[in-house]
Amino acid sequence: MIGPLLSSLARKRIVLASSSPRRRNILESVGLVFQVMPSTFSENLDKSHFATPHDYARENARLKAVEVSSRLKSDGITADLVIGVDTIIVLDDSILEKPKSEDAAKLMLKQLSGRTHTVVSGVTLIAKTESTTTFTETTEVTFASLTDSLVDYYVETGEPMDKAGAYGIQGIGGSFVTGIVGDYYNVVGLPLQHVCREIVNMWETGHLV
């Protein structure tokens, strides 16, 4: 979908407002040329102020993109496109983000054990024309039942500590997954097809030209 535009997009300043190596790798996998400028937004929004987890993820993504876009402008730099992303895990309407301790990671994994949860990514694209697109992508993931010893081993590997829901589907955590409905890349951290579709739409409507 985005392939025919890659040479033209390579001449644009596209900025990923994230330090996530997984998001960077996903975008690089399709040949998109971009810069990385991690957002300094503190991600301290009160979850109780949002009607749904989708609203919460959308707003986090928007504020990440806005912070980077504003910082670039203050430095006199014009970005053709800024991409902000926030990924959360939702279980029983509760939001699971990155664990703040090993004990928190173990608790999350035990909650996910043998159950189906939802991965929600909020995405905001800000073009230099001030055109802004914000959306969410949802994927359902089902876990096998996890023993306490398996949970302890996994947490000791360190893999869960920088990931929403305390697991990485692209790593050891992928061995826990018995089923997935939706976009695999969304679970990794960036809904690739949806992002590409929106970039193409921005191009075709003149916001990236």
> pLDDT per residue over 66-95, tens digit each?
999 999 999 999 899 999 999 999 999 899
Q: Is residue 209 part of a domain?
A: no
Q: Is residue 123 part of a domain?
A: yes
Q: Is residue 24 part of a domain?
A: yes
Q: Is residue 72 part of a domain?
A: yes
Residue 203: pLDDT above 80? yes
Helix or strand holding residue 148 (H, E): helix 148-157
| The Cα angle at residue 163 between residues 136 and 160, in degrees rounded to 5 | 150
For residue 75, the one-letter residue type is D
Q: Find the mean pLDDT for residues 7-19.
A: 96
Residues spanned by the domain of 80:
3-204
CATH code, 179: 3.90.950.10
Q: Is residue 7 part of a domain?
A: yes
Say how many domains are in the chain.
Answer: 1
Q: Taking all residues of the chain, what is their mean pLDDT, rounded to a whole number?
A: 96
Which residues carry out catalysis?
Answer: 86
Q: Count the alpha carbons within 13 Å of 202 in the hemisphere toward its beta carbon.
A: 28
Q: What percent of the chain has pLDDT over 90?
A: 92
pTM: 0.94
Q: Residue 140 and residue 181: Cα distance in Å, rounded?
A: 5
Residue 93 CB partners (closer than 8 Å, separation 6+): 53
CB atoms within 10 A of CB 72: 19
> pLDDT per residue over 17-63, tens digit each?
999 999 999 999 999 999 999 999 988 899 999 999 999 999 999 99
Dihedral pair phi/psi, residue 202, rounded to 5°: -65, -40
Q: Find the mean pLDDT for residues 105-124.
A: 98
Q: Is residue 155 part of a domain?
A: yes
Residue 209: pLDDT above 80? no
